[in-house]
Chain A
Amino acid sequence: MPGKPLDPTAMARRAAQELTPGAVVALGPGIPCRLPGELPPNGGVWFLAESGVVGFQGLGVDLNVVDGSGEPVALLPGGSFTGVVNIAGILRGGHTNLAILQPAQVSASGDFVHWTTNATGATGTTNATGTTSATDGLFAPGSAVDMAFGASRVVAVMPHQGPAGQPNIVSQCSLPVDGVGCVDIIITDAAVIRVGPTGLELVEIAPGWTADEIIAITDAPLTLATNVKDMTFEVPELIPPNKVYATAIEALKDVPEGAVVNVDGFAGPGGMAHYLMVGLRDVGVKGLQLISNTAGIARMSAFGAPNIIDHSILVENNQVAKATASYPVSPSASRPSAFEEAYNRGETELEVVPQGTLAERLRSGGAGVAAFYTPTGVGTLLAEGKETRTIDGKEYVLEMGMRADFCIIRGHKADTLGNVVYKGTSRNFNPVMATTARITVVEVDEIVEPGQLGPEEIVTPGLFVDRIVLRPPDFSAYL
């Protein structure tokens, strides 16, 4: 007599053991939505709802705050609202550590089917455009496809068997799949199964079950791990990682030589991380490839000042190997910037990119869009050597998404979870760049506690920000 299937809460608690502090976690509908309610509401992980919520915990009462199933959820202090397109970017752009889904089927190689109208598993087909006709089954994945393809790791939480006793873990999916080889681990009401390169491996067993009983209700071949354990249901303690750094140098000392660094500031001085720039200079790392709207013209521009700190301090310290910019040099040829002089001496490389293309390449990089077709620059020097394509009678040029190793941005305020707000036109490239880097460092005038920035007010959700530095009150942006 096999053991009793676990209840959904127990499955959710086991799934919670896959979480790590600070993780960004996308939850599909069904059992996964029970996870947040099983954890202490301390903001230790970021739960995403595809309805446009970042950072929630458990069920709520406000009908204006719903998760992907349309159920009300409670926003955490430090949670925020964003649109569906930004959630899609968070999923696709490599920002999501974990997707937790409840598929209808998972195969031996980690393929999965999310759900179908026919729970007994009638087969259906879809034509090339994805249009379903009335004779087909309906297979509507919602966000599951985005989650499965976007997240670093995919956890399937599901009953081991369907309502009619049919196996849900199968050699091959009998229905059109929503993801190929996406699932990494399966947590069922009877067992935990790892999806390995050579097939499925039974790693944990629920109380009251034996390995043979589990093999008997699994259609796919199952091997036993060398050390099969009992499933446990304690949830981990998840303390939010500390993001606040004491100084700019502390926050930037591991920038590697040759790093690609995004630097904001439309032209400066507004929106420019002067304190972090000084920190980067003092760290002294060489060979930097800057991506920035300008390559340091605040000293020459109308809104700057001759002694203002800008990219020039990095150029003068021989740290810049390349700049990618839309407005790289001084408006006046007779007053060249430090970058232009270095460029003319052959010490730096330059890639000029139209400003909107620069913004879109960064946005794409951050949102997991590999490349896009833009009408900007068609027939010009800046499109030379690039693919063009006519779409609906209009000519476009192919441009690539762009990412960076580090990003230094300038916010007005941040909370300790990394949520950032900006001030006026100093927003410009900052929120876009914040999504593109492996490590994003923000310089702010004020650091506050989570909850002190309103959820409608937050522009950059904290999941994009790794390090926060307070601009010292006595810091001067002038040399």
Chain B
Amino acid sequence: MKSLADKERLPREIVAMRVAKELPDGAYVNLGIGIPTLVSSFVPEGRTVFYHSESGILNCGPIADEGEEDIDLINAGGQFLQRVGGMSFFDSAEAFAMIRGGHVDVTVLGSHQVSATGDLANWMLPQRGVGNVGGAMDLAAGASGVIVAMEHTDRNGQPKIVEECTFPLTGKGCVYLIVTDLAVIECDGKRLTLKEVAPGWTPEEVQQLTGARLTISPDVKEFEL
């Protein structure tokens, strides 16, 4: 019998696609590095989403083509962007006024760990002794809350969803939705509710790879895209 560790999980693109479904029409969205970066490619037809980046740009265009890179036009993840109509530039103080002031509607971040109460730990691995916080803490503190998009377990197969974070926190109780390659989990600050599971996975199997207790939603279903 195959162990759970070897069982097929969803590709990153599907995780990103599932997150994209959560973005309301007209929303201002900040996407972190990793799986979140992919989300912009999967916004459902008919919806318009505006991207904000801490590098000081709003209404970011698509990623620049090779050979067209402009060092004066980047997003916070270090990708070069295309020039599009409707974008605007501003300084760092204003970029973060938008985040902290509750003007950015949705933030999608990757994470090392998420706790049962929605704590986020994504900026520092203790063994390195030093970490890059960048804009993550400001995004976590932004009024709108955070969607986490990540793999369900780390490279060593350890659960990334845990009862309490053991890595340094980015923000307390700021995560309201977790989308992984195995599950969609709602977080209300008190408990984690399993809403959707990857095709071929049972709620019990997802629980086995989760370090915190999951409340299984009575209408738990397969990933809806």
Contacts and interface: CB of A to CB of B under 8 A. Distances in A.
B215 interface: no
A403 B217 CA distance: 52
B55 A425 contact: yes
B169 A426 contact: no
Contacts of A1: none
B71 A326 contact: no
B135 interface: yes
Contacts of B77: 302
Given A374-B100, A428-B91, A382 B137 contact: yes
B71 A377 contact: no
Nearest to B99: A356
A429 B73 contact: no
**A266, A301, A356 interface centre (most CB from chain B within 10 Å):** A356
Interface string A425-439: 111111110000000
Given A424-B73, A428-B92, A354 B78 contact: no
Interface stretch (B7-15, B43-51, B126-134): B126-134
A445 B90 CA distance: 20
Contact of A374 (B71, B74, B93, B141): B141
Contact of A356 (B56, B72, B100): B100
A331 interface: yes
A380 B169 CA distance: 5
Contacts of A350: 130
A303 B78 contact: yes
A328 B132 contact: yes
Contacts of A4: none
A267 B78 contact: yes
Contacts of A119: none
A128 interface: no
Interface string A352-384: 111111111011000000000011111111100
A343 interface: yes
A269, A355, A422: residue with the most chain B Cβ atoms closer than 10 Å: A355
Tell me what chain A mostly uses at the interface: helix, strand, loop, or mixed.
loop
B87 to A, nearest CB: 9
Contacts of A430: 91
A375 B141 contact: yes
A327 interface: yes
A44 interface: no
Nearest to A477: B71
B154 to A, nearest CB: 15
Nearest to B83: A424
A380 B137 contact: yes
A125 B170 CA distance: 49
Interface string B55-79: 1110000000000011111111111
B172 A379 contact: yes
Interface string A323-355: 000111101010000001001100000101111
B133 A355 contact: yes
B130 A328 contact: yes
A370 B10 CA distance: 50
Contacts of A36: none
Given A343-B130, A375-B100, A423 B72 contact: yes
B141 to A, nearest CB: 4
A78 interface: no
Given A429-B91, A432-B91, A424 B70 contact: yes
Nearest to A425: B55
A270 interface: yes
A450 B17 CA distance: 51
Given A266-B55, A302-B79, A382-B137, A352 B172 contact: no
Given A355-B54, A425-B57, A271 B72 contact: yes
Contact of B89 (A302, A344, A360, A425): A425
A425 B169 contact: no
A428 B72 contact: no
Contact of A354 (B79, B130, B137): B137
Contact of A378 (B91, B130, B131, B172): B172
A327 B55 CA distance: 13
B132 A269 contact: no
Nearest to A293: B92
Nearest to A412: B72
B28 interface: no
Contacts of A267: 78
Interface in B192-225: none
Interface in B150-179: 168-172
A425 B72 contact: yes
B29 interface: no
Contacts of A270: 71-74
Given A303-B71, A376-B100, A381-B168, A427 B91 contact: yes
A303 B72 contact: no
Contacts of A357: 137-138
A354 B92 contact: no
Interface in A168-225: none
Contacts of B125: 333
A62 B52 CA distance: 36
A465 to B, nearest CB: 15
A12 B208 CA distance: 81
A401 to B, nearest CB: 12
A426 B96 contact: no
Contact of B74 (A328, A340, A356, A425): A425
- Counting from the closest, the 7 A-B pairs by CB-CB distance are A356-B96, A356-B138, A424-B72, A354-B137, A379-B172, A359-B92, A302-B78
13 contacts: A270-B73, A333-B128, A353-B133, A355-B96, A376-B100, A376-B137, A377-B171, A380-B169, A424-B89, A425-B81, A428-B55, A431-B91, A432-B91
Interface of B: 53-57, 69-81, 89-93, 95-96, 99-100, 124-125, 128-138, 140-141, 168-172
Given A326-B132, A356-B99, A423-B72, 11 more contacts: A326-B135, A329-B131, A354-B135, A359-B95, A380-B168, A425-B55, A425-B73, A425-B75, A427-B89, A428-B56, A430-B91
